[in-house]
Structure 1
């Protein structure tokens, strides 16, 4: 891609994106944001399942990732891998997949750039990769959009789609940055804002807006969500935190375990994970908007 600035090679990172892309309408924004970020050397994208909402959820996610790449003209630039088709049966048995194998392969590969894996859905594929090959634990950092509000926890979609996988990862020594639901929900936008800041910028901008507006109408009869004229781009912090890690906006907490009711079960003396209490929505959204515009302008993608 043409770009008006460069990123020093020493500042770049390797990135794997794990996404339940067809779950609803915000994963697509995070996928595009990652693809348009010069700091990232994307090693692949993994399609994740999203529970009982669809019997073919992982396959649906796989198709959606491919669609986004085709619209952007980047289908030959990034490989897409299939993750586990369902949640783990327990916290001891992995579900091997092309996605878990990608995580293992990239983690064990010698490279001067650090590896990060962002999870926009459940932690199934990370847990599977770790159960298959524990050596990956010291060779990657995981960023997870998921989990309830601390300290109690409680129902949250991504966590609820694989509690066993979350417990595998929380028990492991894998460095983990967690963005719980009270924090990722800070990235609020109105549909009017997206119509002005996203839709005019190329075919991908139009697709991002239109698919969200269509989902908003399709789910209009639901009593509590969506709210009608706003959205939370809750997956996008997984991208922006890798541009700036908000070093004063997180706590190191002892990793809890997760009970059947999705509440946190304290584990005194457990290893510590990074838990965010704030993300900068202005920084996150403005970076996304700017990169969409630059992509459209410099790559001649404005109709």
Structure 2
């Protein structure tokens, strides 16, 4: 198998109260894959504020003893009036480490990694596209060093936030997303149409719990806690979650598990009720090429089995 050099960009919440675990699972998966060479990890702002995301990434890497270089400070969203700031303000206040990572801004860190690399790099985004848009705005020459962007975000048909048109990562910063899609980049979108094909129930994580391994049990318990919190908050049963963020990693490594459709992707940034909607154009409509791919289908049972087994085999010996 070829080894893909990658940069990871994540709004990781694990370490914060009521945290979703899927960013952490994706980072752990990427670091365990022999087919990936992770050159760096950058925090973005989405599930939590960027400062918390950076600290959470640092904490996870310390727990597993990983020395991959990681940035500290994310780019600001392109629209300071966005609703996401209210979300962060309502989250619990907690003491944030002021010294973690390499003390670089994500945008400068990503640019340095790209421009210093002897070969183009893949970028895997599992949060909003703010850092990548800022990169392309400040360092437009870096586009030549991006092999492709594999992203979790957007949606073709599946409803998004609160049953609306927009998926969370895109809705966090629609202008940034549209700016990224306007560049001549190969972008592979893994949206809600595939990430929501398979709900993850507490019973699916029983191998981690039954293993008796402390770190695996910790991951399972935090994930199940999030399932229960969200189910109670939103009034449904039984509790479940999704492993959204593993999808772009697996799409890069195992494209045969997926069905992709060539398309042109745009984001609605004007509509009052559809702001952040992903617009998938599968017809030529005057364009000469299709620079984007959208994942339309996936072998969801294979993905679940692979992720649970891979994390179990790679991190069973971690002591916390």
Residue 37 of structure 2 corresponds to residue 41 of structure 1: yes
Cross-structure match for 2:79: 89
Q: Decide whether aligned partners of structure 1 residues 265 and 285 sit closer, same or farther in structure 2, where only a CA change above 3 A counts.
A: closer
Q: CA contact under 8 A between 2:133 and 2:177: conserved in structure 1?
A: yes
Alpha-carbon distance in structure 1 between the residues aligned to 2:183 and 2:127: 19
Number of aligned residue pairs: 278
Deviation at residue 182 of structure 1 after TM alignment:
1.5
Between 128-137 and 20-29, report the one with greater CA deviation. Answer: 20-29
Q: Residues 158 and 193 of structure 2 are in contact (CA less than 8 Å); yes or no, is this contact kept in structure 1?
A: no
Query: What is the SS of the residue equivalent to 1:131?
Result: helix
Measure the CA separation in 1 of the matches of 2:198 and 2:159.
Answer: 22
Q: Give the structure-2-normalised TM-score.
A: 0.77
Question: In structure 2, do the counterparts of structure 1 residues 155 and 247 end up closer, same or farther at CA, with 3 Å as the change threshold?
Answer: same
Q: So what's the TM-score if we normalise by structure 1?
A: 0.81
The answer to whether structure 1 residue 27 and structure 2 residue 27 are counterparts is: no
Partner of 1:45, secondary structure, is strand
Question: Are 1:187 and 1:234, in contact at CA under 8 Å, matched by a contact in 2?
Answer: no
Name the Cα RMSD after superposition: 2.8
Instruction: Give the CA deviation at 1:166.
Output: 0.6
1:66-124 per-residue CA deviation (whole Å, 9 max, x = no partner) reads 222122122xx21221343531139xxxxxx6211222122223424x41111111000
> Quick check: 2:208–2:217 contact (8 Å CA) kept in 1?
no
1:129 correspondence with 2:148: no
Q: Which moved more, 1:57-66 or 1:29-38?
A: 57-66
Measure the CA separation in 1 of the matches of 2:50 and 2:57.
11
* Contact 1:198-1:289 within 8 A present in 2 as well: no
- 2:113 is equivalent to residue 103 of structure 1: no
In 2, Cα distance between the equivalents of 1:222 and 1:152? 19
Instruction: Identify which of 33, 56, 59 aligns with 2:51.
Output: 59
Gaps of 5+ in 1: 1-6, 91-96
2:302 aligned residue (277, 283, 295): 283
Call closer, same or farther: CA 1:296–1:139 in 2, change over 3 Å: closer
Alignment of 1:159-178 (within 5 A): 159-178=170-189
1:192 aligns with 2:184: no
Q: Which residue of 2 aligns with 1:212?
A: 223
Q: What does 1:9-28 correspond to in 2, within 5 Å? A: 11-22=2-13, 24-28=20-24
CA contact (8 A) 1:48 1:58 kept: yes
